[in-house]
Structure 1
Amino acid sequence: MTADQPFWNPRTETMPREQLRAWQWTKLRRAMAQARGSKFWADRIPEDITSFEDYVRRVPLVTKKDLVAAEEIAPPFGLLPSIDPSAAVRFHQTSGTSGNTPLRTFDTARDWAWAVDQWCTILHGVGVRPGQRAILAFGYGMFIGFWGMQDALMRMGCAVLPSGSMDSATRVRLLVDYQIEVIGCTPTYALRLLETAADMGIDLAADGNLKTVITGAEPRPPATVRAIERGFGAKVFDVAGMTELATVFTFECPGGPGISHIIEPAAIEEVLHPETREPVGYGERGVRVMTGLGREGWQIFRYWTEDIVIKRPWHECPCGRTWDWYEGGIIGRADDMRKIRGISVTPVMVEDVVRGFTEVREFQTVLRADRGLDVMVLRVEPTDPASARPELGERIAAEIKRTIGLLPMVELVEPGVLPRFEAKAVRFHDER
């Protein structure tokens, strides 16, 4: 692999589909054999699985609630480990932003080396190269976040400046003073940095040196991407990962906007109908079901992720990879879907409309019941007092009505009233 080579691992990224499928089957068989050491998985995975078809027919789907319940039998890991957790070199847990009990995981040295390699695949694929300077704007806590990206950058020969204890203003100065070229953060926090820079009188597109913005941890609509690219003067690439996998499983390809390749040597990805749970074809919307192929200690099989996706065939991307991809990445969450007066609404649908208004700095959606009727209240924080006019609220409401089919109540609030987020944003509140 050389600096001008587009692939981190040309063999695995361009492997013919027949060979890729055979390799996945070999890795799956090894993973299932390893899982005999787990009480939880040994009870769910028959020993005589003979094919992929047999696997999806006989191995039941599992949910996060199933995994949490198995851990709570004997915290912290309960019935899940396939090997003794004393072999672990890292401990992580899910973010807990949903308000539910976090799911706790661990990684051995081999697990983590594998997880970091998936991050290297992504970073090299989007143009990150040795010698570049990077920061990761997240809390460096138990949430796995961008930990794998940090170690991958170091493995690739990049300089990583730690920023876990810094506030937004300090991070903005870091971007300018060190002429940082790569940043990893949530889409929400990227917008927060741009907001902070504007308050400081700094134009990051002109004064900074960012080339690549890696965003993840939450769905982001096209309007949000445009706002981030415009503000930083850099390309934005979306990635998606899961604590349950230990690493990333998709990344946005430079071959085209919205093309998020599945790292198929790392995971088997099924797409099932959200209600019937039967497989759906290419181009059809469904829910991701994921099987991990890299961990030895804390494993995952046929996991109902709640992520809404549309899978497309590999040959529709011109980059040369033989991996299938998701159109638009993770486009929403099945458990985020809400019915409002008979219309299905997700947070990302609202965000895509609101981010199209440059006069909006921050927003919040609240669902309420008023005398038996569902009401969507949109609380909007304008960029400056001059924008806080009823006409702005009327335009936003009209656009939501046109695109989603609901007419919300729009409340304009004072600057700084709405909460800000470094990790996953929680802007959607159902109070019904």
Structure 2
Amino acid sequence: MAWLDLPRGYWNPVSETMPRERLRERQFDKLKVQLEHAYAGSRFWRERMDAAGCPPDTIRSLADFSERFPILTREEIIAAEAVDPPYGTLPSVDPRLAVRHHQTSGTSGAQPVRTFDTARDWAWAADMWATGAYAMGVRPGDTALVAFGYGLFIGFWGLQYGLEKIGCRVIPTGSFDSEKRVRLLIEQQCQVLACTPTYALRLALTAEEMGVDLAQSAVKVVIASGEPRPEATKHKIEAAFGAFCGDTAGMTEAATIFMFECAEEPGGCHVIETDYLEEVIDPETLQPCDYGQRGVRLMTSLGREGIQVFRYWSNDLVTKRPHSDCGCGRTWDLYEGGIQGRHDDMRKIRGVWFMPSMVEDVVRKFPEIDEFQCQLVNIEALDTLVVQIEPKPAVREKDYEPLRQRFAAEVKRQLSLTPRVELAAVGTLPRFEMKAKRFQDLTAAPEAVKN
């Protein structure tokens, strides 16, 4: 594969290859600084630490912090911000020091989380992105196209500056449609593309309709972020672009990314452990998970000064693996498969655990399928998975029903669930540039669905 020739290396060799014992010491040193800063500057955090009986000078170790410090939820952030909008009692510095404002997209239906970054915060955020992009093989002199709307959602804003920090020529395409972006990729001989996994597939389909073979383009790295990315989706993107597709994940509450997939393709993403203290806990018992056990990640940022978060319930489902599972030399542990899904999207259907990303994994194995949506509905007192699939325009109508049947059989084989699969007309299902929303739980509807 062409991307096997991608350059290896470290953006910050000392941090990325630090012995684990020294890494833990550094995390604790940074944590103490962060706690003291929050206690001195943030009314929210000072009151919270006092109420929990754990002011900074009482935290003796990382284990002590994990055992005693309370978990922070999104709802608590929103409530604190409502006290005195827009940022409430959360800030640890005067908001007048802010150089940027961002807020969550609100796709979950809740009030957005609003946040700001100081100049120091933003330089740190860019450095986190540079760390991830460099690990994927991005180098000075590369040309990068960022397919992102550049709005209030933090998205790829930090990557723009991270790429500049590496020394790339960056092409922002906020107002461009897919055809214009494909033309720019070719005209500017871009080596790097950044977008969501869903939008990468949309660009590939657009290029195919234009008669453009993106596998013959100059693109060597596709930086994917913004939503869970099953392995089948990764392979489909890599085949379409003839390039390495590297996974990342970040969040507005963090200001930047906290993990990335290196060019060694270890089957997961390295956590940037010098700058984040990450815990994985069982969502029911709230006890720590061992390597190989799936749980919810709690995030503590060790690099942000404006609005800080400690033990933040991310809602992300992850499975931690030891750093030794990757041959790149980094001493940072991995999240297997990156973000596997959202805890609030997990459902048990007739005794079987289900996540929307599982359906996507099946969809991407069917080149005839363009888009999909899935719903959990109650049909005659039984929870039922309903999947709508939209065939590509080139698929002949006489092949629709065989496709539907083959897809239903594969879902049943892989998920141990019998779905109801429906065909959607070409061009009717929603398209997404940023976070794709393809799942709805309608089981709380007032009346059951009838056949």
The verdict on a shared fold, with TM-score over 0.5 as the criterion, is yes
Aligned partner of 1:89 in structure 2 is 99
Distance in structure 1 (CA, Å) of the matches to 2:12 and 2:352: 45
User: Which of 2, 13, 20 is 1:17 aligned to?
Assistant: 20
Change (3 A) 1:348 1:5: closer
Distance in structure 2 (CA, Å) of the matches to 1:5 and 1:254: 7
Distance in structure 2 (CA, Å) of the matches to 1:316 and 1:5: 17
User: Which of 219, 222, 231 is 1:210 aligned to?
Assistant: 219
Give the CA deviation at 1:283. Answer: 1.3
1:49 and 2:59 are equivalent in the alignment: yes
Equivalences for residues 89-108 of structure 1 within 5 A: 89-108=99-118
Q: Match of 1:191, SS? A: helix
TM-score by length of 2: 0.93
Residue 385 of structure 2 aligns with an amino acid whose one-letter code is: M
Give the CA deviation at 1:227. Answer: 0.9
Aligned partner of 2:161 in structure 1 is 151
Q: What is the percent sequence identity of the aligned residues?
A: 56
Residue 117 of structure 1 aligns with an amino acid whose one-letter code is: D
Q: Match of 1:75, SS? A: coil
Residue 404 of structure 2 aligns with an amino acid whose one-letter code is: G
Equivalences for residues 206-285 of structure 1 within 5 A: 206=216, 208-285=217-294
Aligned partner of 2:448 in structure 1 is none
Question: Aligned-pair RMSD on alpha carbons?
Answer: 1.3
Aligned partner of 2:148 in structure 1 is 138
Mean Cα deviation higher: 306-315 or 137-146: 306-315
Distance in structure 1 (CA, Å) of the matches to 2:377 and 2:288: 35
Distance in structure 2 (CA, Å) of the matches to 1:121 and 1:385: 42
Residue 181 of structure 1 aligns with an amino acid whose one-letter code is: Q
Distance in structure 2 (CA, Å) of the matches to 1:303 and 1:199: 44
Distance in structure 2 (CA, Å) of the matches to 1:258 and 1:250: 13
Q: Match of 1:411, SS? A: strand
Aligned partner of 1:59 in structure 2 is 69
Give the CA deviation at 1:161. Answer: 0.9
Give the CA deviation at 1:5. Answer: 6.6
1:401 and 2:401 are equivalent in the alignment: no
Q: Match of 1:180, SS? A: coil
Aligned partner of 2:85 in structure 1 is 75
- Count of aligned pairs between the two proteins: 429
**What is the CA deviation profile of residues 164-185 of structure 1, one whole-angstrom value per residue up to 9, with x for unaligned ones?**
0101111111111111110111
1:428 and 2:439 are equivalent in the alignment: yes
Give the CA deviation at 1:285. Answer: 1.1
Residue 182 of structure 2 aligns with an amino acid whose one-letter code is: V
Residue 401 of structure 2 aligns with an amino acid whose one-letter code is: P
Q: Match of 2:36, SS? A: helix
Residue 266 of structure 1 aligns with an amino acid whose one-letter code is: D
Residue 413 of structure 2 aligns with an amino acid whose one-letter code is: R
User: Which of 304, 309, 312 is 1:300 aligned to?
Assistant: 309
Counterpart contact for 1:221–1:351, Cα < 8 Å: yes
Q: Match of 2:436, SS? A: coil
Give the CA deviation at 1:424. Answer: 0.3
Mean Cα deviation higher: 252-261 or 107-116: 252-261
Equivalences for residues 303-382 of structure 1 within 5 A: 303-382=312-391
Aligned partner of 1:184 in structure 2 is 194
Aligned partner of 1:122 in structure 2 is 132
Give the CA deviation at 1:339. Answer: 2.2
Runs of 4+ in structure 1 off by over 4 angstroms are none
Distance in structure 2 (CA, Å) of the matches to 1:58 and 1:41: 14
Residue 342 of structure 1 aligns with an amino acid whose one-letter code is: G
Q: Match of 2:122, SS? A: helix
Give ranges in structure 1 of 5+ residues lacking alignment.
Answer: none
Q: Match of 1:237, SS? A: strand
Mean Cα deviation higher: 37-46 or 138-147: 37-46
Distance in structure 2 (CA, Å) of the matches to 1:325 and 1:17: 13
Give the CA deviation at 1:280. Answer: 1.2
Distance in structure 1 (CA, Å) of the matches to 2:288 and 2:385: 34
Residue 150 of structure 2 aligns with an amino acid whose one-letter code is: Y
Counterpart contact for 1:205–1:230, Cα < 8 Å: yes
Counterpart contact for 1:44–1:59, Cα < 8 Å: no
**What is the CA deviation profile of residues 302-351 of structure 1, one whole-angstrom value per residue up to 9, with x for unaligned ones?**
01111111111122221111111111111111111122222221110111
Counterpart contact for 2:148–2:172, Cα < 8 Å: no
Distance in structure 1 (CA, Å) of the matches to 2:284 and 2:313: 12
Counterpart contact for 1:107–1:298, Cα < 8 Å: yes
Counterpart contact for 1:240–1:250, Cα < 8 Å: yes
Residue 430 of structure 1 aligns with an amino acid whose one-letter code is: D
Residue 169 of structure 2 aligns with an amino acid whose one-letter code is: A
Give the CA deviation at 1:255. Answer: 2.2
Give the CA deviation at 1:44. Answer: 2.1
Give the CA deviation at 1:99. Answer: 1.4
Aligned partner of 1:31 in structure 2 is 34
Give the CA deviation at 1:362. Answer: 0.7
Counterpart contact for 1:133–1:161, Cα < 8 Å: yes
TM-score by length of 1: 0.97
Give the CA deviation at 1:64. Answer: 0.8
